Amino acid sequence: MIDGFGRNIDYLRVSITDRCNFRCLYCMPEEGVPKKDHNDILSFEQMESIIEVLAELGIKKIRVTGGEPLVRKGCVDFIDKISKIKGIEQVCLTTNGFYIDSHKEELKNTRLDLLNISLDSLNEDKFKTITRCGDIKEVLSGIETAREIGVKNIKINAVLMKGINDDEIREFAEFGKEKNVKIRFIEIMPFSICNSYEKYGISADEIIKRYDLIRTPDKDYSNNAETYKFKDGLEVGFIRPISKKFCAACNRVRLTADGKLLLCLHGTAYIDLKDKLGNKEAIKNAILEGIMNKPKEHGIDLGVIQNREMNSIGG
Ligand code: SAM
Ligand code: SF4
């Protein structure tokens, strides 16, 4: 599927719930989000029917995300089902890691090509401050479990925050080596309600300079991450939506739990698919027509801020 700027759109992120057991300060309000009416949320069968159409249109890779995807009952079964849809070559999961242990057996028996676990600090107290309620022990145990059950490609994502975790870059690099997982720091992005960008925003450039990091070829760092090395060879990656936007190479769209296909993480353009459920042709035509409205680039630098929170988009 080619958009109006000639980009090949072959990657879908599906947010299966906007609910979460954590309240990360840059993502969710402390009091949580109002519970959506059951009827407003797509069933897994409805999501699968949309994904089948998207796969016919050229989507090859899917990332299941949220909110916290593992809080929705049936998540792993859903992953298993979509991995079998014709045309889907890669299925990934993004999770805060808390429920990996309790899903161990299911995950062991499910194809997962890539697992991203979010972990913003290696310090127990800082971790609690960032997540407002999370227990780092559960997440660290989840990482061990994922390794133990043989998930081959595990990545740790940390949102880079000035004054909070920008002094932990080296510790993370060591952790990555010890656990044989890739570390990627993501520049914090502004969203309308939980806007922590002004307070905690810091450019990857500042970190690269501070630690004298050396750019290295990106090997298999996917998703627009750039790889850097410390002088002794320890590696970290940076995802830089703010300081080096990668919109020209954007290949993704995002399906929300309430049935909207978002065309840009930071824009307002979307295709409403919920009212077309049950009509495959209508879904297909709406996507083919709507994809031409995918914006050329995000406008954070111009002050354009998404009015949905990250917990409903999924990253
Ligand atoms: N709950 C899961 C998790 O935390 O991994 C999946 C959903 S979460 C919204 C997906 C990713 O978005 C996480 O890595 C999270 O750190 C990142 N994220 C959330 N808000 C962000 C923000 N304002 N700026 C940058 N990354 C953000
Ligand atoms: Fe939950 Fe993930 Fe958002 Fe943190 S980043 S509040 S774990 S959805």
The pLDDT tens digits of the residues spanning 169-223 come to: 999 999 999 999 999 999 999 887 777 888 999 999 999 999 999 999 876 545 6
Residue 2 domain-assigned?
Answer: no
If pLDDT is split at 50, 70 and 90, which confidence band does 314 have?
confident
Q: Which domain holds residue 137?
A: 11-312
End-to-end CA distance of the chain: 21
Ligand nearest to the CA of 185: 1
CATH at residue 71: 3.20.20.70
Residue 152 domain-assigned?
Answer: yes
Ligand 2: centre distance to CA 68 (Å): 6
Number of domains in the chain: 1
Residue 237 domain-assigned?
Answer: yes
Ligand 1: centre distance to CA 117 (Å): 10
Ligand 2: centre distance to CA 37 (Å): 21
Q: Is the pLDDT of residue 2 over 60?
A: yes
pLDDT at site 114: 96
Residue 4 domain-assigned?
Answer: no
pLDDT at site 218: 73
- H or E element that contains 282: helix 280-290
Residue with tokens 């502004």: 190
How many of the other CB atoms lie within 10 Å of CB of 96? 27
pLDDT at site 219: 62
Report how far residue 95's alpha carbon sits from residue 92's, in angstroms, rounded to the nearest whole number: 10
Q: Is the pLDDT of residue 117 over 90?
A: yes
Residue 254 domain-assigned?
Answer: yes
pLDDT digits (tens, 9 = 90+) for 101-111: 999 999 999 99
Residue 217 domain-assigned?
Answer: yes
Lookup: tokens for 174 = 């060591």
pTM for this prediction: 0.95
Residue 6 domain-assigned?
Answer: no
Query: What's the average model confidence in pLDDT over 235-239?
Result: 96
pLDDT at site 150: 95
Q: Is the pLDDT of residue 100 over 60?
A: yes
pLDDT at site 301: 80
Q: What is the DSSP-derived secondary structure letter of residue 8?
A: B
Atom from ligand 1 closest to the CA of residue 194: 23
Ligand 1: centre distance to CA 314 (Å): 7
Which region among 32-41, 53-62, 259-268, 270-279 has the lowest average model confidence (pLDDT)? 32-41
Q: Quick check: CB of 310 below 6 Å from ligand 1?
A: yes
